[in-house]
Amino acid sequence: MNANLNIILDARRIKSDNTLPVKLRVYDLTTQKAKLYNLNINLSRSEFNKTWGTNNPPKDYQFYNGLLHTYYSEAEEIIRSLDPFTFDIFEWKMFKSRGNGKNIFFYFETKIEELKAHNKFSTLDIYSSCLKMMKAFCKNKTGNDLEYLAFIEVTPVWLQDFEDYMLKKDKSRTTVSIYARAIQAIFNMAIYNKDISGEIYPFGARKYVRPSVKKVKKALSNEHLKALLTCPAPPPYQDKARDFWFFSFATFGMNVKDILLLKWKDISEDKITYIRSKTENTSKKEVVEHEVYLTDISRDILKRYGTADQKPNDYVFDILKPGWDEKQIHRGIRNFTRFINQHLQILAKNNNLPVRISSYWARHSFATKSLRDGYTMDMVGDAFKHSDNSVTVGYFAGLDNQSLKQMNEKVTKL
């Protein structure tokens, strides 16, 4: 465990009847700080020794012995579940009232605190935005700012009304689906914790079904790739945005976060070796290293934008700064991703290219071009370290007209 636990008498304040408050003491091994929590039980030293200080308490002290063991066991179970341990989350879980356990807002706030503790800022943004939208919806319905919304009130009808409200607020169906998934996860947490019954679960067949979103194939054709690479781009912004997009394209679609987190020790003479941030926490036992061989495109961009000193533990690109904490790093990655997308879309618009292009298209474009160029699904999947080909298929935007024409001519030539 990341914290030590004990039940003690707090001798700092003796009451008029010579009793002392019994408290739960939690010591955080990481921060080396301790907190005391009042259990609303007062005992004399003699009573405490007969209650907690023995394995066989007298009959008159068995009630308090059982109560203290219950507190201890609950606290121990919560501490074991926290990695990392934080006092904030421990307090949320340990001392919530029964009413809070029925409150979906409380559960959202608890989840948000957990995500903060684990530095999962992207998921944190989703849950925070979803909670904010839910409260705005409730205010729109009731005219009041609510801090309590019972799980039982979130029915299939409520969820459908919430979906309609979000669509009227110009939220995309993708956003609606993401928020609905967050609410579904919160319901599952509350059911697992036995705060609510599974009978009120509002998702599933003949209940509320999250809106399905057809994935748009986000890949550039060969002609568009050539046009994007060669079209004039006014420096410095559009040119820089394009360069980092092509760095991603030339590294099997490495995402912006992984690009910015690269350090010089990850780069050898002919390749980059890294662990994809999207998957590094999904299976601690099977973390997969990705190897990407350098090409003329990626070498040129490393030469132009890479930091000069090339110290092993320095970032390759001077976007994130040494000494930044996790929150600053998250913000820096988000801002630079936005920079790439905004200026790339301006460049695309000025050159009659797909204006929705974003950093996300680089990975799909690489996969699609590889398949169009004759590489097999297995080979592309191996390059991407996909577990099976069904994942690779999701990246393929299909054959373009020229490829279909060539295929038809080749197949029908008997």
Structure tokens at 139: 């205010």
Q: What are phi and psi of 3, to 5 degrees?
A: -150, 150
* pLDDT tens digits in sequence order for the chain, 414 residues long: 789 999 999 988 788 888 999 999 999 999 899 999 988 888 999 999 888 878 888 888 888 888 899 899 989 999 998 888 888 888 878 877 657 889 999 999 989 988 887 888 989 999 999 999 999 999 999 999 998 999 999 999 999 999 999 999 999 999 999 999 999 999 999 998 888 999 999 999 899 999 887 666 678 888 999 999 999 888 789 999 999 999 999 888 899 999 999 999 999 988 999 888 765 554 444 667 888 889 999 999 999 999 999 999 999 999 999 999 998 999 999 999 999 999 999 999 999 998 889 998 998 888 888 877 777 666 666 666 655 555 444 544 444 555 545 544 543 343
pLDDT at residue number 160: 97
> In terms of DSSP bridges, do strands 3-9 and 20-28 run parallel, antiparallel, or are they unpaired?
antiparallel
Burial of 173 (0-12, 13-18, 19+ CB in 10 A): middle
pLDDT at residue number 149: 94
Residues ≥6 apart with Cβ < 8 Å to 283: none
Residues ≥6 apart with Cβ < 8 Å to 224: 353, 354
Q: What are phi and psi of 208, to 5 degrees?
A: -100, 130
Interior/surface letters 207-222, b for 16+ CB within 10 angstroms, e for the rest: ebebeeeeeeebbbbe
pLDDT at residue number 167: 96
Whether residue 242 contacts residue 300, with contact meaning beta carbons closer than 8 Å, is answered with no
Whether residue 62 contacts residue 47, with contact meaning beta carbons closer than 8 Å, is answered with no
Distance in angstroms (rounded) separating the CA atoms of residues 262 and 276: 11
Burial of 22 (0-12, 13-18, 19+ CB in 10 A): buried
- Angle (CA) 40-45-48 rounded to 5° is 55
pLDDT at residue number 219: 83
Q: Alpha carbon 283 to chain centroid distance?
A: 15
3-class state of residue 210 by DSSP: coil
pLDDT at residue number 399: 44
Residues ≥6 apart with Cβ < 8 Å to 20: 9, 10, 11, 13, 14, 42, 43, 44, 45, 48
